[in-house]
Chain A
Amino acid sequence: MTVKLVPDVNAEKRIDPATRRLVRTGVDTVLNPYDEYAIEAALQLKEKLGEGTTVTVFSMAPESGKETVRKALAMGADDAVMLTDAGLEGSDVWDTAFALAQGLKKHGFDLVICGSLSDDGSTGGVPGAIAEYLGVPGFTNARHLDVADGRLRVQRETDNGYQTVSGPLPALVSVTMAVGEPRYASLKGIMGAKKKTIAVQTPADAGIAQPLGASGAKTELLEFAPPPARSKARVVTAEDGPSGAAAIFEFLKEKKLA
């Protein structure tokens, strides 16, 4: 499955006005929380399919992210590949998907499982784009997945419920939080993770010839702005209970809520 490393979700985020990139220094790096659901889905599938199934963590990240990738190994994944190069910094959706697809092709796979979006960029565009570059069917927003007889069967979340779709392997699927709460890494998993392999792949290893990263990006961030500050709440001071209730009712009526 693919995972992204993101700044600590609880940290206050800041964008550097000069580079228009998220400031990552001084902020802990964690696994993208959405990707933890992809790990959970992959481990559930492995438990169901049994021996002979390998779960590989695939991440495009700087080498300093190795210990964060190891958390996915502690949760139970078998090994990891990190696609690493300074030239990949500043990649946009296109860059990222293209590079991951080349890396995945080189490594080989039956099924790619992704989280549905990242906590930092939140584009949600990468899974679909990887599927496109891989030339395999892409199933997005899966709440449940199953593999049988060489085919993937997926329940896709929709606004009103879900649809069941099926397609041949190899394939790509992105999962939602409905696949199940990500498990804790057990102590055995943590102690065992240091013995698992994290292979490093360079763009050259993956057969990528053209420049990627900021220089190859097809999109450009033009402007950014912090979320608008919340408007001040209206404070109602009432003489007593009934007049207070009446004031609240008036307010709700005004907002067409009552």
Chain B
Amino acid sequence: MNFDLSDEQKAIQDLCRDFAQREVAPRAEAMDREEEFPYELVAKMAELGLMGLPFPEEYGGSDADTVSYALAVMELARADASTAITMAAHVSLGATPFFLFGTEEQKQRYLVPLAQGKMLWGFGLTEPNAGSDAGNVQTKAELRDGKWIVNGTKAFITNSGTELTGGTTITAVTGKRPDGKPEISNLVVPQSTPGFTRSKKYKKMGWRASDTRELSFVDAALPEENLLGKRGDGLKNFLIVLDGGRISVAALSVGLAWGAYDQAMQYAKDRHAFGKPISAFQAIQFKLVDMLCEIEHAKGMVLKAAWEKDEGRDFSMSASLAKLFSAEVSRRCVNESLQIHGGYGFMDEYPISRMYRDQKINEIGEGTNEVQRMVIARMLGL
């Protein structure tokens, strides 16, 4: 048993901490207020190699491992959740399907520019009426004269409408399986596809600087070769992608909780009441200690899931446990941190009010807490 990070993992963590604190944190407030997508930060993250962090060098990536990826996401989220989700969704949802299921030609065409961070890509699974029941896909794609004709709607799609976005990979019903159930496949939909449109950005409570849109397909025609992976494997493959995605959201949650703890610690030392810093009061000290305890616990779970993935083991259970626990830890930490801030926490004056808003989605995105519990219960054979 060894809890030390490798030299590379440590160096990547240091780099991301330095970058996040120096470049990301100072912009977080303005980006949140203006709902401004972090183009400049994406360009810098691309330059540093973060946008292709876990992919092989031959496909434009940085060849780092999942533990490094989790550490990077944590450090970014500690400074700003919007920037962190932009990077994390890009890597784990946008680019990963091409890496796992793409043909060599699709990898060259899509994965390389994505890993280099020159292009962003969406992951179109959720629909207005298919969220937790992701299998209830209503979007249809019919193969007619060598073209897929797509009709339907996708909801809440991250990175789907930026100036850098090249397109979105979707799930669509492409026919009926022999057992009568719908056959679901993945299709690659470039931005320029006629009949494919993006809505305006959603007005969101948190993650306000990240780009989230509704996608609509009206007789959108795609070349037949835009199938990603095998026909009929669409849902299975996307669920495999989501397993890795859970590590992302778990790391985001830990990062946010950690950021909330940083803010609470600073505020508690600066703020005086009854003639001394409030950090001198046991009521505040206990809150801070409890937060740190939970963060360390959650961090350990996330890194274990990431390590299992790196070792090529089955990490589904660990990733689900880590995602569920970290999301709830992030809620408790932003809540206690805001409480320590008192009235000032309720004002839009300290980063904690943004963190409080940014937190809620951690318990909803990539499987709600309830779905996470269902998934874990199923793995327990219940």
CB within 8 Å of B: which residues of A? 67, 70-71, 74, 184-188, 190-191, 193-194
Q: How far is A191 from B55 in the complex, measured between Cα atoms in Å?
A: 12
Nearest B residue to A67 via CB reads: B7
Which residue of A67, A70, A185, A187 is within 8 Å of B64 (Cβ)? A187
Query: Is B7 within 8 A of A186, CB to CB?
Result: no
Known: A191-B62, A191-B64. A185 touches B47 (CB 8 A): no
Q: Are B11 and A185 in contact (CB under 8 A)?
A: yes
In the bound complex, do residue A190 and residue B11 qualify as a contact, i.e. CB atoms below 8 Å apart? yes
Closest CB in chain A relative to B353 CB, distance in Å: 27
- With A187-B15, A187-B62, A191-B62 already in contact, the answer to whether A70 and B49 are too (CB < 8 A) is no
Among A185, A191, A194, find the residue whose CB has the most chain B CB atoms closer than 10 A. Answer: A191
* 6 additional contacts (CB under 8 A) given A186-B47, A187-B64: A184-B18, A186-B15, A187-B50, A187-B53, A191-B64, A194-B8
How far apart sit A188 and B19, CA to CA, in the bound complex (Å)?
Answer: 15
Q: Is the CB of A187 within 8 A of B48?
A: yes
CB-defined contacts of A185 to chain B, threshold 8 Å: 11, 15
Is the CB of B63 closer than 8 A to any CB of chain A? yes
Shortest beta-carbon distance from B71 to chain A in Å: 12
Task: List 5 tightest A-B contacts by C-beta distance, closest first.
Answer: A187-B49, A187-B62, A190-B11, A186-B48, A186-B49
Interface size for B (C-beta < 8 A) is 17
The CA of A190 and the CA of B64, in the complex, are separated in Å by: 9
| B12 & A187 in contact (Cβ 8 Å cutoff) | yes
Q: What are 22 sample pairs from A and B whose C-beta atoms fall under 8 A apart?
A: A67-B7, A67-B10, A71-B11, A184-B15, A184-B19, A186-B15, A186-B47, A186-B49, A187-B12, A187-B15, A187-B50, A187-B53, A187-B64, A188-B49, A188-B57, A190-B8, A190-B12, A190-B64, A191-B8, A191-B62, A191-B64, A194-B8
Give the chain A neighbours of B50 by CB distance below 8 A.
Answer: 187
Given A184-B18, A187-B64, A191-B62, A74 and B11 touching (CB < 8 A)? yes
A residues near B63, Cβ cutoff 8 Å: 191
Minimum distance in angstroms from A193 CB to a CB of chain B = 8
Give complex CA distance A194, B12 in Å. Answer: 13
How far, in whole Å, are A144 and B149 apart by their CA atoms in the complex? 61
Chain B nearest CB, measured from A33 CB (Å): 12
CA distance A187 to B62 in the complex (A): 6
Cα distance A129–B62 in the bound complex, in angstroms: 41
Name, among A67, A71, A185, the residue most crowded by chain B CB atoms within 10 Å (CB to CB). Answer: A185
Which of A70, A71, A187 counts the most chain B CB atoms within 10 A?
A: A187
B156-169 CB mask vs A (1 if < 8 Å, else 0) is 00000000000000
Residues from chain A with a CB closer than 8 A to the CB of B11 are 70-71, 74, 185, 190, 193
CB-CB under 8 A from A187, the residues of chain B are: 12, 15, 48-50, 53, 62, 64
- What chain A residues lie within 8 Å of B47 (beta carbons)? 186
Q: Bound state CA distance, A74 and B8, in angstroms?
A: 10
In the bound complex, how far is the Cα of B117 from the Cα of A188, in angstroms? 14
User: How far is A71 from B18 in the complex, measured between Cα atoms in Å?
Assistant: 13
CB distance from B327 to the nearest CB of A (A): 27
Q: Which residues of A contact B57 (CB under 8 A)?
A: 188
B285 to chain A, nearest CB (A): 21
| A76 to B144 Cα, complex, angstroms | 53
Chain B nearest CB, measured from A196 CB (Å): 12
The 0/1 profile, CB within 8 Å of A marked 1, for residues 88-128 of chain B is 00000000000000000000000000000000000000000
Residues of A within 8 A of B18 (CB): 184
For A186, list chain B residues within 8 Å (CB). 15, 47-49, 62
CA distance A215 to B143 in the complex (A): 84
In the complex, are the beta carbons of B7 and A194 less than 8 A apart? yes
Bound Cα distance A185, B10 (Å): 12
Contacts of B10 in A (CB 8 A): 67
- Are the CB atoms of B7 and A184 closer together than 8 Å? no
Task: Write the chain B residue with the least CB distance to A70.
Answer: B7
**Interchain nearest-CB distance for B74 vs A (Å):** 16
Contacts of A194 in B (CB 8 A): 7-8
Known: A70-B7, A190-B12. A184 touches B62 (CB 8 A): no
Closest CB-CB distance, A3 to chain B, in whole Å? 16
Question: Which residue of the partner chain B has the closest CB to A190?
Answer: B11
- Bound Cα distance A74, B64 (Å): 14
A36 to chain B, nearest CB (A): 11
A190-B15, A191-B63, A191-B64 known; A184 vs B8 contact (CB < 8 Å): no
Which A residue sits closest to B47, measured CB to CB?
A186
Query: Within the complex, what minimum Cβ distance (angstroms) separates A212 from chain B?
Result: 30
CB distance from A86 to the nearest CB of B (A): 24
